[in-house]
């Protein structure tokens, strides 16, 4: 056990000695690096070093928590926790923290991600790839981000482990004209195979296609969603499977366990697998993480739980703690049977939307929402892209769209970028959804 792990354990011991019923301490030493660029030049390079221990303590079913920075003022923070917990209120829904000793998978994190000698090379590689596709006048911006976290978790209830989490992400948006653009991302947990140019090429390819857009037309369309757009939809649907979201009705899945909520071809999973930028081997209670099937062939199979929400729902934790809120780590949609080109051939008259942002709900329980497509948006006729569009909005219902998925591609991409509401990474295919409502400003 290294010194950091030992200090983490010491915090748990001290809290127990002072009378805590249950304690979890989780120390994260994180190094984060980001290079931001716009107008084809680097604007700023940013580095954060973060040394923090999150402590959660239960006493007589009352839950309090704190953060200790770099093991400073430990006694003061613990004293404050006990001051608060003595006047706090009982939480009858507290089900305890996860209990038992667990073997954890060995982390496959890549320590080299934060030691990239010259991040600018990746940035310029992506920019050049975009310009090669869309032309020398192309104007690109984005970020290169790397993360390395060493995590040490000790629980009075048994869990005790170490994890290392790594990620590298490149996000690039290329403008071929002042108001026409394409967006590409490249996300991985390891440096090997990371291809910055691939993101640039995708951004450039869409930016080129998107030139000279016409105002879109309101109506209902069959729509092919690019993996980047699908990533936002998976984040939206995935977030709504958290038991916390169910309990506060910020979900379309309330009271729908074991019911049909999607078309037969839809299977959704949550997994912080080693390829994912959300890779982790245990959750915030120290439960080993695992793959959970959220929706199996259209049927909602589980909500995502920590120990407490699992007890409320009379089930087992799914390894998705959050001490307070369980949450998904990385949502996958199972691959379908057609490739991208075959999917286009399915569409007589429809749209191809490549990206979106600003997803907002009128009502989470009913699922009524809208979101604003951005970057390339195209009219498809007889399987071919016929026209570039602009200024449209997708205004529909999250549950209905899930039921109207009629095509899923074989190709999938690991997706994450700044604009994903719900902030979830995903493994996203192209999907075809029928009869989706498009509106526009009048």
Choose the binding region for other proteins from 18-26, 50-58, 102-110, 291-299 (rule: CB under 8 A).
50-58
Is 18 a binding residue for other proteins by CB under 8 A? The answer is no
Q: How far is the CB of 138 from other proteins (least distance, A)?
A: 12
393 lies in the binding site for other proteins (CB under 8 A):
yes
Q: Which of 127, 268, 304, 323 binds other proteins (CB under 8 A)?
A: 323
Give yes or no for residue 122 binding other proteins (CB under 8 A). Answer: no
Instruction: Decide: 301 and 280 in contact? Cβ < 8 Å.
Output: no
Any contact of residue 66 with other proteins (CB under 8 A)? yes
Which positions from 341 to 380 touch other proteins by CB under 8 A, shown as an x/- string?
----------------xxxxxxxxxx-xxxxx-x------
Asked whether position 72 contacts other proteins by CB under 8 A, the answer is yes
Cα–Cα nearest to 143, from 112, 169, 178, 177: 169
Nearer to other proteins, 90 or 384 (CB): 90
- Answer for which of 11, 12, 25, 56 binds other proteins (CB under 8 A) is 56
Q: Which is nearer to other proteins, 70 or 212 (CB)?
A: 70
Measured from the CB atom, is 1 or 46 closer to other proteins?
46
Per CB under 8 A, the segment of 15-23, 31-39, 224-232, 408-416 that binds other proteins is: 31-39
Nearer to other proteins, 116 or 164 (CB): 116
312 lies in the binding site for other proteins (CB under 8 A)? no
Q: Is 419 in the site for other proteins (CB under 8 A)?
A: yes
Closest distance of CB 379 from other proteins, Å:
18
């Amino acid at each position: 056990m290294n010194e950091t792990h030992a200090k983490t354990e010491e915090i748990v011991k001290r809290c127990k000695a002072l009378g805590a019923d249950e304690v979890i301490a989780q120390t994260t030493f994180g190094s984060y690096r980001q290079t931001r660029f716009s107008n084809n030049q680097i604007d700023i390079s940013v580095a954060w070093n973060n040394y923090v221990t999150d402590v959660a303590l239960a006493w007589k079913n009352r839950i309090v928590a704190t953060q200790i920075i770099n093991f400073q003022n430990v006694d003061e923070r613990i004293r404050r926790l006990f001051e608060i917990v003595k006047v706090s209120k009982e939480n009858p829904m507290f089900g305890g923290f996860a209990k038992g000793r667990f073997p954890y998978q060995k982390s496959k994190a890549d320590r080299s991600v934060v030691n990239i000698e010259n991040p600018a090379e990746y940035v310029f590689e992506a920019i050049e790839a975009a310009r090669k596709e869309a032309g020398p006048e192309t104007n690109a911006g984005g970020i290169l981000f790397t993360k390395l976290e060493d995590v040490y978790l000790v629980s009075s209830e048994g869990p005790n482990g170490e994890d290392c989490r790594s990620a590298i992400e490149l996000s690039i948006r290329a403008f071929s004209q002042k108001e026409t653009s394409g967006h590409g991302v490249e996300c991985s947990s390891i440096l090997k195979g990371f291809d910055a140019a691939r993101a640039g090429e995708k951004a450039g390819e869409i930016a080129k296609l998107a030139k000279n857009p016409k105002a879109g037309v309101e109506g209902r369309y069959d729509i092919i969603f690019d993996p980047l757009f699908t990533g936002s939809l998976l984040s939206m649907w995935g977030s709504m499977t958290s038991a916390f979201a169910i309990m506060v009705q910020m979900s379309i899945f309330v009271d729908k366990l074991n019911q049909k909520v999607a078309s037969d071809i839809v299977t959704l999973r949550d997994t912080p697998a080693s390829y994912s930028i959300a890779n982790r081997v245990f959750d915030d209670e120290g439960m080993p993480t695992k793959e959970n099937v959220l929706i199996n062939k259209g049927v909602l199979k589980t909500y995502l739980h920590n120990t407490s929400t699992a007890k409320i729902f009379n089930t087992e934790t799914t390894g998705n703690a959050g001490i307070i809120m369980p949450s998904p780590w990385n949502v996958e949609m199972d691959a379908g049977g057609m490739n991208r080109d075959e999917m286009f051939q399915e569409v007589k008259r429809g749209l191809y939307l490549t990206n979106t942002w600003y997803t907002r709900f009128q009502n989470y329980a009913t699922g009524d929402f809208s979101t604003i497509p951005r970057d390339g948006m195209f009219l498809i006729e007889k399987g071919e892209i016929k026209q570039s569009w602009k200024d449209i909005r997708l205004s529909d219902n999250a549950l209905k769209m899930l039921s109207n998925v009629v095509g899923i591609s074989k190709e999938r991409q690991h997706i994450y970028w700044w604009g994903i509401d719900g902030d979830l990474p995903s493994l996203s295919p192209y999907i075809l959804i029928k009869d989706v409502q498009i509106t526009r400003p009048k």
